[in-house]
Amino acid sequence: ASQEMYNAQNALYNGNKLFGYDVDKTTKKYVVDEATAPFVQRMFSEYAEGVPMQDIAEELNGSGVRTVRGREFTVNKMLKNRAYIGEYHHSCVVVEGGMPALVDEETFERVQARMTLNKRHGSQRARGKGEDGAPRYWLTGKLYCGECGARMQGMYGTGKMGKRYYY
């Protein structure tokens, strides 16, 4: 355990592989993996710009990119990892600047803010935004039945001329 603690305090590799990073064989420090780091940077920038997490994961999986454990991406956990802004974490040890940053703090914070908003309000797709971006159901997630407490759901009908009416 003392070797593990020494490694942590000196921001050395402790057996935890991270997508976007490799380990320098001589110094045992994390270094940027030129093959996978651009995918990490793209994930953060696309999500910060509003691309849905699911779309990012599908694009990566579709192009054959896999996690360090050889699995398909879900992206969610990666976007919360402070290692990508240079913070080394192991157990209770945190070393600022302990690893090379792949993402700037401003982008990281924009991603965190968007994740918090989506956690609270759901994604635009879940809130009923159409392909044209028009809100369909303004009260989704806000309106509950006064008798049983169940969530109220929006509906639509189609008029004679084929136009949709939402209510």
pLDDT value of residue 138: 61
Say whether pLDDT at 136 is over 70: no
Q: How many CB atoms lie within 10 A of CB 57?
A: 18
Q: Which CA distances in Å does 11 have to 16, 83, 91, 110?
A: 12, 11, 12, 26
- Find out whether 121 and 127 touch, Cβ atoms under 8 Å: yes
Q: Taking a C-beta distance cutoff of 8 angstroms, is the pair 155, 166 a contact?
A: yes
Note the pLDDT of residue 134: 47
- Between CA 86 and CA 126 the distance in angstroms is 33
- Indicate the angle between helix axes 37-48 and 105-121, nearest 10 degrees: 50
pTM: 0.69
pLDDT (tens digit per residue) in 21-71: 999 999 999 999 999 999 999 999 999 999 988 899 999 999 999 999 999
Q: Is the pLDDT of residue 121 over 70?
A: no
Tally the C-alpha atoms within 13 A of residue 114's C-alpha that lie toward its C-beta: 21
Residue from 8, 48, 6, 12 nearest 30 by CA? 12
In the block, which residue shows the tokens 């700037």? 104
Which residue, chain included where needed, has tokens 């064989």? 25
